[in-house]
Chain A
Amino acid sequence: MTEARHDPFHDIARQRHAAELGLWVFLASELVFFGGLFVTYGLYRYAYPSAFEAAGAETAIWLGTINTAILLTSSATMAAAVWAGEAGHKRHVLIGLALTALLGLTFMGVKGVEYYKDISESLYPGAADFPVDMPGAQVFVGLYWAMTGVHAVHLSIGLVAVAITLWRVRAERFDWQNTALLHVLGLYWHLIDLIWIVLYPLLYLMGRSL
């Protein structure tokens, strides 16, 4: 295991503080990134409320809900891994990270099934038999693809990071207890969860009725 502290820091506490602050600043940046998509959604929804409801009713609500549950669960396991890291329980760090990675993979699998279903139901802009014939409906679906796609890219990056961290903790490649790395990884993972928490009602819950 290498030394936890590295230049330009004089002490490990300050180094931890820097890593955490840096990631929070990055999270603010990420929020604005997704914010641009949310705002685009909001402005279009104001312009085409009924088309957004009609097109929103076409998304696969059950797959979306299952995926929401999966992602919420993965946040819980990630949080446990981070807390275990702070308390020094290596085995539980590994369990938490492994569960998180597994749940993340499951999410991607379900998402893939959903995308397949969407395409087979012509739920993409420019499809020959697009199910909703209203101005703005294709924009909704365009946003659905853009938002979930960008989210999936973030999740994939998160998955790779979790897998690498899992291996590095297992092999004791870094001081997982004293550095902020686990915490920072957790923050990023929770951000992915947060984005999905907002995407879920916007993309799946609109226009539903019994």
Chain B
Amino acid sequence: MSGRETPARLWRRSALVWLALSLLLATTLGGAYLPIGVWKLPLALTIAAAKAGLVIAIFMGLGQAGGAARIAGLCGVLWVLLLLSLSMTDQTTRQQLPPGFGEDRAGQP
């Protein structure tokens, strides 16, 4: 941050981000009622990501944070995605078997 930021300036900055966040909130609320079927979740999550991005970049000051801090935050997100994606390999194929896998089992009690 610059040395002596005036109170008016910093409140204005915070208010601008708040305004953007509120608009996104209104958008996502409206989007929930759109008849777009399976696209509802991706839309809602994209808007959530945009909101989160604003909070992280400006409120949390990721730009001013050190490299290690940025890597740490990124790791948190990546690890959640890792848990999700690898366990999804199970969930999405639970009822399937690789070719030739079922035959041996069929004869067994």
Question: Which A residues are closer than 8 A to B by beta carbons?
Answer: 17, 20-21, 24-25, 27-32, 34-36, 38-39, 42-43, 46-47, 61, 65, 68-69, 72-73, 75-80, 83-84, 86-89, 91-92, 183, 186-187, 190, 193-194, 197-198, 200-202, 204-206, 208-210
Contact = CB atoms under 8 A, between A and B. Distances in A.
Contact of A205 (B29, B56, B72, B83): B29
A83 B15 CA distance: 13
A79 B73 contact: no
20 contacts: A21-B66, A21-B68, A24-B70, A24-B73, A28-B76, A34-B80, A35-B76, A65-B25, A75-B18, A75-B21, A79-B17, A83-B13, A86-B1, A87-B4, A186-B59, A190-B56, A190-B60, A193-B59, A201-B41, A208-B32
B63 interface: no
Interface string B5-26: 1110011011101100110010
Please classify how large the interface on chain B is, using the bins under 10, 10 to 19, 20 to 34, 35 or more. Answer: 35 or more
Contacts of A198: 45, 48, 52
Question: Dominant SS at the A interface?
Answer: helix
Interface string B35-72: 10000110011011001100110111100011011101
Interface in B76-102: 76-77, 79-80, 83-84, 87-88, 91-92
A38 B76 contact: no
User: Which of A31, A84, A88, A204 gathers most chain B CB within 10 Å?
Assistant: A31
A77 B14 contact: yes
B45 A35 contact: no
Contact of A25 (B55, B72, B87): B72
The 5 A-B residue pairs with the shortest CB-CB distance in the complex, in nearest-first order = A28-B76, A35-B80, A31-B76, A201-B44, A76-B18
B66 A32 contact: no
B25 A72 contact: yes
Contacts of A183: 61
B40 A87 contact: no
Contact of B59 (A35, A190, A208): A190
Contacts of A75: 18, 21, 55, 59
Contact of A43 (B1, B48, B65, B87): B87
Contacts of B33: 208-210
A187 B60 contact: yes
Given A28-B72, A32-B83, A194-B56, 20 more contacts: A17-B66, A20-B69, A21-B66, A21-B68, A31-B77, A35-B83, A46-B92, A72-B51, A83-B5, A84-B10, A86-B5, A87-B5, A92-B7, A183-B61, A186-B59, A186-B60, A187-B60, A194-B55, A197-B48, A200-B28
A72 B47 CA distance: 14
